[in-house]
Amino acid sequence: MKILSGQKASPGIALGVIHYLKRRKPDVTAHPADDVQRELDRVEAAVQEAVRQLEELRGIALEKMGKDEAGLFEVHAMMLTDLDYRDSITNIITEEKVNAEYAVSKTADIFAQMFLDMEKDYMKARAADVRDVSGRLLDVLQGNTPFLISSEKPVIIAAKDLSPSETVQLDKDKILAFVTSGGSNNSHTAIFARNRGIPAVAALGAALDETCNGKEAVVDGEGAALYLEPDRETVEKWAQRRGAEQREKAELAALIGLPSKTLDNREIKLFANIGSPGEADAALANDAEGIGLFRSEFIYLESKNFPAEEEQYRAYKKAAEKMQGKRVIIRTLDIGADKQAGYFGLPHEENPALGLRGLRICLTRPEIFITQLRAIYRASAHGNVAVMFPMVASLWELREAKEIAAQVRSRLKAEQVPYSERVPLGIMIETPAAAMMSDELAKEADFFSVGTNDLTQYTLAADRQNNALGRFVDTRHPALLRLLELAAKNAHAVGIPIGICGELGADRELTQTFIRMGIDELSVPPPAVLPLRKHIRGMKVD
Ligand code: PEP
Ligand code: MG
């Protein structure tokens, strides 16, 4: 038995036989071209054929996977028709007087390197796209049939790396897992695998090669390991674990589409918290009824400078579209305290948790706030979007934030930019002041969502970053529960909903209490949705 370890790409366990996918390598050596025009014509015809294939694949992906994955093929078609890419091929053919295959291959190397030299991981991962489209072009030029996998029984698909178009062509019923010697947890194979719940391990190294074809193996997605030719004991151990995993999954999957209702018919909505638009897939896969907290600061923390309106718009739109009409609550920027982005140039603070953070920054630097609100409102034209302000302590803060939002709307209207007129503006209840003032705040906010992480820190005067506080941090402290109850009572007095989006929402010891308080929605990490639904459906409240 040999154990290879790699990068975690998608959780889950698989036992089976490896099917190593090997591409037919196109001949890309340079040959002198007798007729340069002919080579240029060949490229032109090949591009047209490749674009046709991509359109076909887009159709398949749209049907099998969804808009997002299908969009990749559009991007590929755009890459093929990109002028810089095409000019590079043309120039190599005309200047070096060589064959089309060589020019395409050289162009692929240049462009892939350009992406690999970029700083951000997701841009680096685009190198695989360039290679993918170029490979397609080469296959067309050489008359190779598109990459297809034929195997009777479900197998563990192994490869150096898999391109998006290769992945989409695979028959899902025949795939037990993906293992790749290259790639990363950011690669398309990893993303596809996660979206479809297929175990996957990337970057297993050169030991995973063609010689592994036909060998028995165990894939441990969570542990990012591949057990090659496992002994009996190992097989038994993992078969047992997989059995338990499958039973648990099936049990939870059976709850998809069912209401989160107690035995005595008390219903509560279960939403998911996400930190990037891609995570909406996990929310959907786990049957979240909406996004209760989209932490928008990821977009600021990943940037080297203030993210532009367009970039933000695309991210929010993506999340809104993915959720297909389900509510997506986008929390406005919550930078400050433990989440620092250097380019904000915030002054050093003695007590950053009590300093300029969240909405306080937005009201102090309205230009940043306006850019974000414009992006969110524009995205609201593409789904069911709501906005939520963090760190509210006073009524005037909510009023000022709403006033800026109104200005943004009228500006968009004047510019004839589409946005939805029905975007609820809610607040987080995460300061004791907001909970105490919740009667007044409720009259002017469209909804409440309790951020118990901060509400605990501010109520108990206990720094959430400080591990040493131990027993002094009681997340179920009566003071906290009283504030929650007060906020729920005040919300309902004027008929607005209240949810919980802090970690406490997933605390099963308190689910009953929350339902009794009349909390309308709990927003928890995506994998916690179905287990919580199971818990709710098995309990009685009264
Ligand atoms: C909270 O404070 O409970 C919350 C959900 O927000 P964050 O954890 O992002 O501060
Ligand atoms: Mg908070």
Residue 209 is predicted with a pLDDT of 93
Closest to 382 measured CA to CA, from 298, 319, 288, 447: 319
With the most atoms of ligand 1 within 8 angstroms of its CB, the residue from 271, 295, 296, 361 to mutate is 295
Q: Give the three-class secondary structure for 67.
A: helix
With the most atoms of ligand 1 within 8 angstroms of its CB, the residue from 454, 458, 473 to mutate is 454
Nearest CA owner, ligand 1 atom 4: 451
Please provide the average confidence, as pLDDT, over all residues in the chain: 91
Contact 491, 498 (CB under 8 A): yes
430 lines ligand 1 (CB under 6 A): yes
| Beta pairing partners, 20 | 158
Residue 149 has pLDDT above 70, yes or no: no
pLDDT digits (tens, 9 = 90+) for 80-101: 989 899 999 999 999 999 999 9
431 lines ligand 1 (CB under 6 A): no
525 lines ligand 1 (CB under 6 A): no
DSSP for 212-248, written as a single string? GTT-EEEEETTTTEEEES--HHHHHHHHHHHHHHHHH
Nearest CA owner, ligand 1 atom 9: 295
Rounded to whole angstroms, how far apart are CA atoms 113 and 539? 57
Phi and psi angles of residue 498, each rounded to the nearest 5 degrees, phi first? -135, 135
| CATH H-level superfamily of 2-23+147-236 | Phosphohistidine domain (3.50.30.10)
pLDDT digits (tens, 9 = 90+) for 17-65: 999 987 667 778 899 998 999 999 999 999 999 998 888 888 877 776 6
Of 141 and 63, the structure prediction assigns the larger pLDDT to 141
Residue 168 is predicted with a pLDDT of 67
Residues, CB within 5 angstroms of ligand 2 (ion): 430, 451, 454
Q: Which atom of ligand 1 is nearest to the CA of 430?
A: 2
Residue 72 is predicted with a pLDDT of 80
The percentage of residues in the chain with a pLDDT greater than 70, rounded to a whole number, is: 95
Residue 388 has pLDDT above 60, yes or no: yes
Rounded to whole angstroms, how far apart are CA atoms 522 and 275? 16
Rounded to whole angstroms, how far apart are CA atoms 234 and 525? 32
Can you name the CATH fold of 256-537?
Answer: TIM Barrel (3.20.20)
Ligand nearest to the CA of 271: 1
pLDDT digits (tens, 9 = 90+) for 445-485: 999 999 999 999 999 999 987 878 889 999 999 999 999 99
Q: How far is the CA of 367 from the centre of ligand 2 (A)?
A: 22
Residue 223 has pLDDT above 90, yes or no: yes
Residue 227 is predicted with a pLDDT of 98
501 lines ligand 1 (CB under 6 A): yes
Residue 194 has pLDDT above 80, yes or no: no
| Beta pairing partners, 16 | 217
296 lines ligand 1 (CB under 6 A): no
With the most atoms of ligand 1 within 8 angstroms of its CB, the residue from 338, 354, 392, 430 to mutate is 430
Residue 359 is predicted with a pLDDT of 97
pLDDT digits (tens, 9 = 90+) for 304-356: 789 999 999 999 999 999 999 999 999 999 998 878 888 898 888 999 999 99
297 lines ligand 1 (CB under 6 A): no
With the most atoms of ligand 1 within 8 angstroms of its CB, the residue from 334, 338, 522 to mutate is 334
452 lines ligand 1 (CB under 6 A): yes
293 lines ligand 1 (CB under 6 A): yes
Of 390 and 150, the structure prediction assigns the larger pLDDT to 390
Among candidate residues 19, 212, 362, 501, the one labeled active-site is 501
What's the number of CA atoms in the CB half-sphere (13 Å) around residue 352?
13
Domain boundaries, the chain: 2-23+147-236, 36-142, 256-537
The percentage of residues in the chain with a pLDDT greater than 90, rounded to a whole number, is: 68
Residue 46 is predicted with a pLDDT of 94
Residue 164 has pLDDT above 90, yes or no: no
Can you name the CATH fold of 36-142?
Answer: Enzyme I; Chain A, domain 2 (1.10.274)
pTM here is: 0.68
Distances (CA, A) of 138 to 29, 40, 242: 12, 14, 41
501 belongs to the catalytic site: yes
334 lines ligand 1 (CB under 6 A): yes
Helix residue ranges, H only, 142-186: 164-169
Ligand nearest to the CA of 338: 1
Ligand nearest to the CA of 450: 1
Residue 318 is predicted with a pLDDT of 94
188 belongs to the catalytic site: yes
pLDDT digits (tens, 9 = 90+) for 288-313: 999 999 999 878 887 778 999 999 99
Among candidate residues 188, 212, 362, 382, the one labeled active-site is 188
Residue 121 has pLDDT above 80, yes or no: no
- Residues 392-396 have a mean pLDDT of 98
533 lines ligand 1 (CB under 6 A): no
Residue 197 is predicted with a pLDDT of 74
Residue 469 is predicted with a pLDDT of 87
